[in-house]
Amino acid sequence: MRYPKPSWSNSDLELYRANVRRFVESEIKPNQKKWAEQQHVDRNTWLKAGELGLLLADVPDEYGGSGGDFTHMAVLFEELAYAGDRAFGVHVHAIAAHYILNHGTEAQKQKYLPKMATGEMIGAIAMSEPGAGSDLQGIRTSAVKQGDQYVINGSKIFISNGYLADLIVVVTKTDPNAGSKGVSLLIVETRNCEGFKVGRILEKLGQKGQDTCELFFDNVKVPTDNLLGAEGLGFMQLMVELPYERLMLGVGALAVVEAAIELTLEYTKERKAFGRTIFEFQNTRFKMAELKSQAVVARAFIDTCVEKLVKGELDTTTASIAKLHLSELECKVIDECLQFFGGYGYMLEYPIAQMYADARVQRIYGGSSEIMKEIIARSL
């Protein structure tokens, strides 16, 4: 497959990409079927990724990270997407780590980030609840301060890495009457945590190797030291981290778009009907030309966003545009590509069918397309 070199790349990053690709080819690609069957990634894979310094590539060395920047993470997200991975939850792991990096105390950073970098601790972020997803102000999970502890009660749903997570950044209400100002983030360590229960791993349309779970908190006690920042800052912290999360999704979505186009070109140039290849039909060539144009334009936009994020200049609106545009484009491109595979496009053994199932959620999680439009509209 021939993929474009991003404008932000350089010779060091291309060397790094070659290492990442080797890891993805040997460790991620061959395990997709197994992980889909068992509904989670092997812990050992996390440790191997940690050994290679891939998990927290953009976290400073002093906290166990690799001292790179977002471009290193972008390389990982792209390579995972090119390889058809939709199981390895490094995205939410990195998000959880960034909450600690950007909002945690020095002691929290020293305690958790080195273990997250090695893969000894897997991270998750728990915002959504059965009664509140898009409208996070409506969450009901409570954290009540009692002495030097918080007592957490409530439940979360659709939590990626939920089954494997050793550390979860949990969005709670410390003051139920203060609206968004009553939201606080608490770090919960799940091992030997009394009152914490992981529910079933949810059956999904796609991304079957990803352990998306329900979580239950029944009088879970955590030290007040586990509060991120200060009480009531949770909503603001969520807003600060959104550009990182949304661009991450945009970067992965674009890589899937590029992969779908390459796969389809390969297939249509081989498959024949009416004495010629499918690619030779004008309909195919025009449609593929359209999709390719959209991918190239999107690449220019995403690359600019990556450069802005690295400089600390990516604003929420632009990040939301990236998330909206790329997740919509991903679903559209895959759907149009799948058509060229005919009946084979509907068979799960063909990667395009798997992509179709895996992609649909991109328009829902990380803030749905409708919520992205709300955010963008506010800036108009």
Ligand X SMILES: Cc1cc2nc3c(=O)[nH]c(=O)nc-3n(C[C@H](O)[C@H](O)[C@H](O)COP(=O)(O)OP(=O)(O)OC[C@H]3O[C@@H](n4cnc5c(N)ncnc54)[C@H](O)[C@@H]3O)c2cc1C
CB of 160 to ligand X, least distance (A): 3
Among 39, 45, 212, 327, interactor with ligand X by CB under 6 A: 212
Nearest residue to ligand X on Cβ basis: 133
Binding mask 308-337 for ligand X (x = CB under 6 A): ------------------------------
User: Please, what is the minimum distance in Å from the beta carbon of residue 362 to ligand X?
Assistant: 10
| Total Cβ atoms within 10 A of residue 318 | 20
Residue range at the interface with ligand X (CB under 6 A); choices 204-212, 220-228, 304-312, 347-355: 204-212
* Contacts with ligand X, 99-138, as mask; x by CB under 6 A: --------------------------xxxx----xxx---
Size of the site for ligand X (CB under 6 A): 21
Q: Measured between alpha carbons, how far is residue 228 from residues 102, 133, 170, 271, 357 in Å?
A: 9, 21, 10, 56, 36
Catalytic residue among 78, 245, 258, 330: 245
CA–CA distance, 302 with 327 (Å, rounded to integer): 12
Neighbours of 44 (CB within 10 A): 11
Does residue 25 carry a catalytic annotation? no
Q: In this complex, which beta carbon is closest to ligand X, that of residue 68 or of residue 89?
A: 89
Q: Closest CB to ligand X among 139 and 261?
A: 139
Q: Would you say 351 and 359 are in contact if contact means Cβ atoms under 8 Å apart?
A: no
DSSP-derived 3-state class of residue 134: coil
Identified binder of ligand X from the candidate list 108, 160, 237, 318, rule CB under 6 A: 160
Query: Which of 300, 370, 377, 378 is close enough to bind ligand X by CB under 6 A?
Result: 370
Instruction: Give min distance, CB of 237 to ligand X, in A.
Output: 14
User: Is residue 368 a contact residue for ligand X (CB under 6 A)?
Assistant: yes
Q: Can residue 158 be called a binding residue for ligand X (CB under 6 A)?
A: yes
Residues near ligand X, by CB under 6 A: 92, 125-128, 133-135, 158-160, 204, 207, 212, 361, 364-365, 368, 370-371, 374
- The catalytic residue positions are 245
